[in-house]
Structure 1
Amino acid sequence: MNAITPTQPTTLPRLNEAAPEFDALTTHGRKSLADYRGKWLILFSHPADFTPVCTTEFMAFARRADEFAAMNTELLGLSIDSHYAHIAWVRSIKASFGVDVTFPIIADLDMAVARAYGMIQPGASDTQAVRATFVIDPEGVLRAMVYYPMTNGRSVDEIHRLLVALQTSDTHKVATPENWHPGEDVIVPTPQTTEAAEARMAEGYDTADWYFSTRAL
């Protein structure tokens, strides 16, 4: 029987806690987490420059950059490639596809940022970052994280939808149902006492049961 070699456990950041700090060289100069205070940040990793799946993702983010900016949100890419490889890749995307990548990309050759954010998954690769996406709020708190495998590109539409939902929840103190989009009803917070549950039916919401009420925004 073949022995199984244990892998080093991957440390992941945790939701609703401070996102790991970083200070790193990017295609736009040095960037730190502190530079993004007061704004939302989408930090996303990719396995390698000059690869087709990663190229489609970066073009998708680039094409939506103005939409994210309108939501007070910055984009920041990362891979375990050199600074010069990033510059060459960005130039190649512009030359080959006519798409300007206007957001910075972290050069993480020592894997410091990738390890801090749990982007290195030994079951996938010890030397490349998986397709991880982190949504960090203006206070530097990690609000969401999504992981994709090496072989399949992530959905930028879904990341944008998630950001809209998070901002809506913060503004209106509500939750959002599965695949919620702006204009659809939101979920009212569940009553926390028996008295509040008893009163819920008469509060004017669209209530299916005491724990499930929705309303329009």
Structure 2
Amino acid sequence: MMLLGDVFPNFEADSTFGRMKLHEFLGDSWGVLFSHPRDFTPVCTTELGRAAQLSLEFSKRNVKLIALSVDGLEEHHDWSKDIMAYNNVEPGSEFPFPIIADDRRELVEELGMLPPEEKDRSGMPLSARCVFVIGPDKKLKLSILYPAATGRNFDEILRVIDSLQLTAHNRVATPVDWRVRNVCLEIH
């Protein structure tokens, strides 16, 4: 189990953007690695669609998105077209972030993303809806674990990133429901 402040594993994996090493892919950016249970499922389609819609907002914050599931590359490529169509994105547009293929479930197991009660129809474990925010120093800054039945709120993830980035450089704390336009509280 990773704790906040731990260096995030520098795994190497196949993705829709080709073979990638996490730390190299992130460079000096922040990263959001998030898992989903399966491709071509209703909740996952809405989540990745929303993340794709917000990809420019993440980019403005120097954040790279990376999705991960236990499906293979071919499914990811086909599904990304389906996500774009569902979200009325212009045909032929590129999907804005990589989706990691982990059909052997090695990475999701290493990262603690396999809750024992979440299984597919054949009894194989499915990944939970994990969110890991990784800083430019490659350390874990935030981790959130959702059950498969509960979709995430990517606007909240953006809000948290704004807070993490602010508090990384200033001795302040952000109160409940804080947004960039709100006042910060100094830590004494």
TM more than 0.5? yes
Q: Given the alignment of the two structures, is residue 58 of structure 1 paired with residue 62 of structure 2, yes or no?
A: no
**One-letter code aligned to 1:17:** D
Q: Distance in 2 between matches of 1:141 and 1:169?
A: 15
Aligned residues: 179
SS at match of 2:173: coil
Q: Indicate the residue corresponding to 1:15 in structure 2.
A: 4
Q: Indicate the residue corresponding to 1:24 in structure 2.
A: 13
Q: Indicate the residue corresponding to 2:137 in structure 1.
A: 139
Q: Indicate the residue corresponding to 1:114 in structure 2.
A: 108
Answer whether contact 2:131 2:143 (CA < 8 A) is retained. Answer: yes
**One-letter code aligned to 2:28:** G
Shift of 1:57: 0.2
SS at match of 2:130: strand
SS at match of 1:110: coil
Q: Distance in 2 between matches of 1:148 and 1:31?
A: 26
* Deviation digits for residues 12-59 of structure 1 (CA, Å, limit 9, x no counterpart): 211111012210000000111222131000000000000000000001
Answer whether contact 2:115 2:125 (CA < 8 A) is retained. Answer: no
Q: Indicate the residue corresponding to 2:33 in structure 1.
A: 43
Q: Distance in 2 between matches of 1:20 and 1:151?
A: 27
Q: Indicate the residue corresponding to 1:153 in structure 2.
A: 151
SS at match of 2:172: coil
Question: Which runs of structure 2 are paired with 1:58-207 in the superposition (5 Å)?
Answer: 58-99=48-89, 101-125=95-119, 127-190=125-188
Answer whether contact 2:118 2:125 (CA < 8 A) is retained. Answer: no
Looking at both structures, which has the greater relative contact order when contacts are Cα pairs under 8 Å and sequence separation is at least 6? 2
Higher mean Cα deviation, 54-63 or 174-183?
Answer: 174-183
Shift of 1:111: 1.6
Shift of 1:152: 1.5
SS at match of 2:104: coil
**Larger Rg: 1 or 2?**
1
* Deviation digits for residues 108-155 of structure 1 (CA, Å, limit 9, x no counterpart): 112222112211111334521010000000010000011111111100
Answer whether contact 1:37 1:139 (CA < 8 A) is retained. Answer: no
**One-letter code aligned to 1:121:** P
SS at match of 1:154: coil
Answer whether contact 2:49 2:84 (CA < 8 A) is retained. Answer: no
Answer whether contact 1:33 1:140 (CA < 8 A) is retained. Answer: no
Q: Distance in 2 between matches of 1:88 and 1:168?
A: 38
Instruction: State the percentage of identical aligned residues.
Output: 37
